[in-house]
Structure 1
Amino acid sequence: MKQPQSDEEKIAEIRMCTQRMADDKARILELIPQVFPEKRGEPKVRGRLNEVVEASGWTREYVARIRDGKVKSS
């Protein structure tokens, strides 16, 4: 059985998880515009916005802002 973690170990784990979440969000913000063919000069794909909304769990408005370059990674 694993020994209980100290408060310091838990805080360190929180820091590590927070950084991982920030890294994951930055990667998602990078990927979203890439999956819209019209951003590559190709024909639009019907329903793509809905697919990305479903995959990300974010609102249509937020995903559209990311797609349009109005949201930048921090």
Structure 2
Amino acid sequence: MNNPPSDEEKIEEIRMRTQRMADDKARIFELIPQVFPENRDEPKVRGRLTEVVEASGFTREYVARIRDGKVKPS
């Protein structure tokens, strides 16, 4: 029979998942500027901001600030 996880094991899982969230957020902040062609000196793609907003769940203003390098993950 399996014993339920101890409090220490749960705390370690919280620590691990918190780090995973931070890593995921950092990756999202890396990817957002990369999907805007104008950041690669290419023509803008109509509707790209909306696509990224829908994919990320962030506001338009926040995505634009990330795209422009004005916000870094905390």
Tell me whether the two structures share a fold, i.e. TM-score over 0.5. yes
- SS of structure 1 residue aligned to 2:73: coil
Name 1:37's counterpart in structure 2.
37
Report the identity percentage.
85
Q: For the structure 1 residues 43 and 16, does the alpha-carbon distance in structure 2 shift closer, same or farther, using more than 3 Å as the test?
A: same
Give the unaligned 5+ runs of structure 2: none
Give the unaligned 5+ runs of structure 1: none
Q: For the structure 1 residues 2 and 42, does the alpha-carbon distance in structure 2 shift closer, same or farther, using more than 3 Å as the test?
A: farther
Q: For the structure 1 residues 45 and 16, does the alpha-carbon distance in structure 2 shift closer, same or farther, using more than 3 Å as the test?
A: same
Q: For 1:9-55, what per-residue CA distance to the aligned partner results, in whole angstroms no more than 9, with x for missing partners?
A: 00000000000000000000000000000000000000000000011
Name 1:64's counterpart in structure 2.
64
* 2:38 equivalent to 1:48: no
Aligned CA-pair RMSD: 1.1
Query: TM-score when scaled to structure 1?
Result: 0.94
Query: TM-score when scaled to structure 2?
Result: 0.94
Per the TM alignment, residue 3 of structure 1 is displaced from its structure 2 partner at its CA by: 2.6
> Letter of the aligned partner of 2:66 in structure 1?
I
Per the TM alignment, residue 8 of structure 1 is displaced from its structure 2 partner at its CA by: 0.4
> Letter of the aligned partner of 2:39 in structure 1?
K
